[in-house]
Amino acid sequence: MYTLLSGLYKYVFQKDEYCILILGLDNAGKTTFLEQSKTRFSKNYKGMSLSKITTTVGLNIGTVDVGKARLMFWDLGGQEELQSLWDKYYAECHGVIYVIDSTDEDRLSESKQAFEKMVMSEALDGVPILVLANKQDVETCLSIPDIKTAFSDCTSKIGRRDCLTQACSALTGKGVREGIEWMVKCVVRNVHRPPRQRDIT
């Protein structure tokens, strides 16, 4: 009887919570992506003006509910001196969203180096990765094939985990919902990183 009641309580009052890191170089559009995610998945969230978003120094946190899953986003600063802090969050995360500025060809190799260092971390073994080619609303941006080619020698390091490269415009919201929904499917089916239980508030 206890098991039945316990299961019923979890079904009615708890959600499975998954922690998702949003990583990438500074100015890639990580915080704008987070704001768009909250606007699209949280009914009463008004959102902040996207034009007022500044460089993240430290950490932004946001939560969205997608079906029975609750995603806790940790948007980490991407400046070089802050990248050394990323790995402090790896052990607890269930997924990674890596944001690339498709308009900044000059820093593409720098972004690739940061990505490569991240995927080689043993603490992220089996964790799904969504690579967002952001700022696709700008005519002069790099295409998805361009970015895949630039990152091609990272493929072997990604291994057998779920990984998707997707076009996105955090400013207009294009690709945001699709990216989040893909991530939810991946974290829910990943048996190696079970969710945390959180009471619904």
> Cβ distance 77 to 30 under 8 Å?
no
Rg value, the chain, Cα: 17
Residue 113 designated active-site: no
Q: Which is the catalytic residue, given 79, 83, 166, 197?
A: 79
pLDDT tens, 6-45? Answer: 545 555 567 899 999 999 999 999 999 999 999 888 777 6
Find out whether 30 is annotated in a ligand binding site: yes
What is the token pair recorded at 194? 């079970």
pLDDT the model gives residue 175: 96
Confidence class of residue 196 from pLDDT cuts 50, 70 and 90? confident
Classify the C-alpha dihedral 144-150-153-154 as positive or negative. Answer: negative
44 is an annotated ligand-binding site residue: no
Q: Which fold has domain 13-191?
A: Rossmann fold (3.40.50)
Q: Confirm or deny that 185 is annotated as ligand binding.
A: no
7 is in an annotated binding site: no
Domain extent listing, the chain: 13-191
**C-alpha pair distances (Å), 147 with each of 75, 107, 143, 180, 201:** 22, 12, 6, 20, 40
